[in-house]
Amino acid sequence: MQKIDTFLFDLDGTLVDSVPDLAKALNLMLNDYQLPTFDEQTIRHWVGNGARMLVERGLRGTSDLKSSDKQGEIDKALEKFLFYYRTLKTKSTVLYEGVHSTLNTLHEKGYSLALVTNKPSEFIDPILSSFSLSSLFSITIGGDSLSEKKPSPLPLLHVCKQLGVLPSQCVMVGDSKNDILAAKAANMQSIGLTYGYNYGENIATYNPDWVLNSFSEILKLNPNPQTKESALL
């Protein structure tokens, strides 16, 4: 068993609750098309597969999507959504309890921290900077940074390559099945957080190595599955 020295984190639903801003931007876009708007709770179940998928779910009014032959229309709607999201400047996005102190503790203890999100990369630094977290992360990967995004293991394996670590030395932390599926495909341990979005599903269904109810519980874990009763720090 390799010693764990790297943590990979999702962003939306894991470190921050960004749904208030995402919902506002989506509904402003839908208003432009004179389409029905949706309450924040409904939109929470649509977040996690990137901006384009969120826009398509909004246009169709459902999370159950089949392949679309109207890619040009979706492209235009996505541009509108991103415009509105930029203007909001994530002013209603909030950091989850325990995130700031836990990330700083992990960093101070010498762990490498990486961010792997399906969110467009242009929005990563403004969010991290607004909460004074940018300096903690060795690398950040957005949904448009590589040719594939979660649940593909590619972003996770890319982080491993860039940081010079093995998947067995890493733990993926997220709130969505995409995080857990990507970790399993990369042969990486995972932590599933119950407070995030995950499309209304129980994160435990996807069998992460640990299921936690709060972010700060990460500090109480041992990433070695054979001795999970011991503390990490």
CB 203 within 8 A of CB 221: no
Question: What's the rounded Cα separation, in Å, for the pair 51 and 9?
Answer: 18
Beta strand 16-17 with 94-95: parallel, antiparallel or unpaired? antiparallel
Quick one: tokens of 27?
A: 């509904």
**Is 10 marked active-site?**
yes
User: How far, in Å, are 5, 55, 202, 204, 226 from residue 233 at the CA level?
Assistant: 12, 41, 28, 24, 16
Q: Find where tokens 């594939």 sit.
A: 148
Select from 138, 147, 69 the least CA-distant residue to 103: 138
List 5, 10, 12, 209, catalytic entry: 10
**Hey, which residues are catalytic here?**
10
